[in-house]
Structure 1
Amino acid sequence: MKHITSPLISPSLGTSRAIDSFHFGTGNGPKVYLQASLHADEIPGMLAAWKLKQQLITLEQQGHIQGEIILVPVANPIGLNQHLMDIPLGRYELENGFNFNRGYLDTFEQVKQRIDGQLGEDLSKNRQLIRSAIKQAVNDWYVDTEFHSMQKALLSLCCDADYIIDMHCDFEAIQHTYSTHYSWDSVKPLAHYLGAQVNMLADETGGNPFDSSIDMVWKRLTDCYGEKIPKACQAITLELCGQNNVSHEKSDHDANAILNFMRSIHLITDKPPALPSHPESSIQAKLLAAVEPLKSQTSGVVVQCAELDSHIVAGQLIAEVIDPISDNVEQIRANQSGILFSFTMRKTATAGMLVAHIAGDDVIRSGYLLAP
């Protein structure tokens, strides 16, 4: 194992932070990049990453890693240091309000300009040409803040990976994933091993999140150049249940699912991958544009009225928001049928607050599809 420290721009006198990455393997095979807690108050992936690290150390010593694995257990040291009155605040940078999982560099135009007229019939050479162009574009990215230097450090580590796995969690939620139509066929086995029964797909989400910042470059190049572009990067975001789902049992499950996925792509060779505990038929993809966000229109006490992982019918009561002063009771109902996969942890609502998500089958949204 090689431990590399990538310093970030120091934001003020006497302070400094860095990205710590752990590198396993030889590079003679597929490359997988994994990171955890890009939203720094989402901890389940951090524990799963630590479990992975312990197993990868042993597997490397035994000669069972036939490729390269880069693991970043703490992807956001900035957000991890943000607290207000004992409350961690890791989703947005307090300096400017930026979401830590938005606004990643789009290298497509730079890469297209670099490779235009240089593609041949050898897909292997084309792959290397494109990866070099992406890496150069990331290296050329001028950054002058700690926030953007962190984004650059993370992209520098993953921009030539075959697979990018970004570990997050929701508030209260069942296991679910986000990916792109471009990547789904390749990463579906990982969702299978995790037992993620809700998997949302979209190629264009808006916001330039981390997970699709590289695979969508390859997809858009394929749209331009067709068969000259090999499939070379697949990405997936794992939502490892909710913020409170931090336990040895849960993290062991998640780490073993990722290891079994890496066995399935022959990156880890100690034994055949275990059979997933969930049937193939239960691992289905849905359109992110068919996900319904349910919000409160008033403020008050939040009462959950439907269970997570339950099948919801249109019109069903999901939650009530009760004003104990005026006695007003707002009923939040589903507008479509689907699966209730996430719910707020907060028990008091503000007007306009996101309360729950339902994964349906009919497209009901367009444009910017991500949560704030």
Structure 2
Amino acid sequence: MPLTTEEIILDHGFPGTHRAVTVHRFGPARTDAAPRPKAYIQAALHADEIPGLLVAQHLLARLKAADAEGRVRGDIILVPYANPIGLSQAVLGTAIGRFALSSGVNFNRDFPDLAAPVADQVLGRLGPDAAANVALVRRAALAAIAAWETATEADSLRKILMGLAIDADLVLDLHCDSEALIHAYTGTESWPDATDVMADLGCRAVFLALESGGNPFDEACSGLWWRLRNRLTAGLSGGVPPLPAACLAATIELRGRRDVDDALAGTDADALVRVLTRRGLLAGDAGEQPVPACQATPLAGVDRVRAPVAGVVLYTVALGDTVTVGQTVAEVVDPVTGIRHPARARAPGIVWARAEQRYTAAGAIITSIAGDRPLAEEGSGLLTAR
């Protein structure tokens, strides 16, 4: 089936305006009668995180070529820009794509938790066939999204994106950090199943959590499955119907904001093609699976090193360096006194991200380290900038 392209209009826009999401679909849509694998990939939900926008264009070209060669085997949806609201926002020439200017809300938070409405629909209907149970839950999830009555343009966007992704086997949400190595976030229950995806992408850090706080997009898609299972099996013992975690969703951070060029984007698009091939959505040879570049670590173990004072940031370690507890990772120079204040690591691990701005406020995060032991509790706001 050839490529189809659709524009979906957002609700609740201002008079005289409308915004739309462009959706590219390769292969026939999955149905119960034809349960082919489904993948959903979107870019720039945080609309000022640009690398994904370019990667999506490179991936689109590769998918068109695969389609022309008859190699599409699954249902592949590509949303090349996932946030037309954020793409339209700027203040004094600076793009503001992470937060809605109208409300201050992070575009990648507050996606709906569907466990309760889906549980209401499937309670007492699950049986011994795991595949049939998965299909039933997916239908219920799509119905729950369709029934969501939104009141804001941002929630209309969330409804559209969730409606496209909630029944997928694989969901990849392309973002970037400030200055960073390529890294990813995924659910604890998605590991080690996600190992091949992270290895193909070359991720230098992978962070696991069941509840990161705020219900971001990837967690809303994959978390449905373990939240639903926990809800349905609470208080039961034995004879629990099989309900696998049927969606592997991950946020992929494509390095830093300035890592935007055709060479990198082409490399990342090639990696995504290998992922889709290895997962059975494209025909072809994905090659031998690369050795993972890292071990997964708990998101709760991330050490967010904060500036002790306001001032000029001088980094003493580079991205990719491994540091020890107590090691100075940066100095902050007080512009009044000239005193240099050390910022020290609380956890050992690899330095995977830093702030690109070299002037900082006191208490701002300037460096992130992948610690292997929890420093915080799950669900306590493990992600930055709610």
TM-score, normalising length: structure 2 = 0.93
Residues 324, 347 of structure 2: 8 Å contact kept: yes
Aligned residues: 369
- What CA deviation, in whole Å up to 9, does each residue of 1:9-49 have, x standing for no partner? 24322221011110001235200000001111111111111
| Cα distance between partner residues in 2 of 1:12 and 1:217 | 33
Q: Structure 1: which amino acid aligns with 2:73?
A: Q
**1:362 match:** 373
Runs (5+) with no aligned partner, structure 2? 234-239
- What CA deviation, in whole Å up to 9, does each residue of 1:308-332 have, x standing for no partner? 0100111111111112223232211
**2:181 match:** 174
**1:138 match:** 145
Residues 104, 151 of structure 1: 8 Å contact kept: yes
**2:111 match:** 104
SS at match of 1:185: coil
**Alignment pair present for 1:235 and 2:240:** no
Q: Structure 2: which amino acid aligns with 1:279?
A: V
| Cα distance between partner residues in 1 of 2:191 and 2:9 | 33
Q: Equivalent pairs: percent with the same residue? A: 36
| Cα distance between partner residues in 2 of 1:335 and 1:186 | 30
- More moved, 221-230 vs 149-158: 221-230
| Cα distance between partner residues in 1 of 2:162 and 2:210 | 19
**Alignment pair present for 1:184 and 2:196:** no
> Which of residues 268, 287, 295 is equivalent to 1:274?
287
User: What's the offset of the Cα at 1:227?
Assistant: 4.5
**2:77 match:** 70
TM-score, normalising length: structure 1 = 0.96
**1:337 match:** 348
Question: What root-mean-square deviation, in Å, do the aligned CA atoms of Structure 1 and Structure 2 show?
Answer: 1.3
Residues 116, 228 of structure 2: 8 Å contact kept: no
- What CA deviation, in whole Å up to 9, does each residue of 1:156-196 have, x standing for no partner? 11011011000111000001110011112222211101111
| Cα distance between partner residues in 2 of 1:13 and 1:160 | 33
- More moved, 63-72 vs 182-191: 182-191
| Cα distance between partner residues in 1 of 2:376 and 2:177 | 20
SS at match of 1:213: helix
Residues 221, 229 of structure 1: 8 Å contact kept: no
User: What's the offset of the Cα at 1:220?
Assistant: 2.1
**Alignment pair present for 1:123 and 2:130:** yes
| Cα distance between partner residues in 2 of 1:14 and 1:322 | 50
**1:59 match:** 66
| Cα distance between partner residues in 2 of 1:91 and 1:69 | 26
Q: Structure 1: which amino acid aligns with 2:138?
A: R
Runs (5+) with no aligned partner, structure 1? none
SS at match of 1:45: helix
User: What's the offset of the Cα at 1:230?
Assistant: 3.1
Q: Structure 2: which amino acid aligns with 1:321?
A: V
Q: Structure 2: which amino acid aligns with 1:63?
A: G
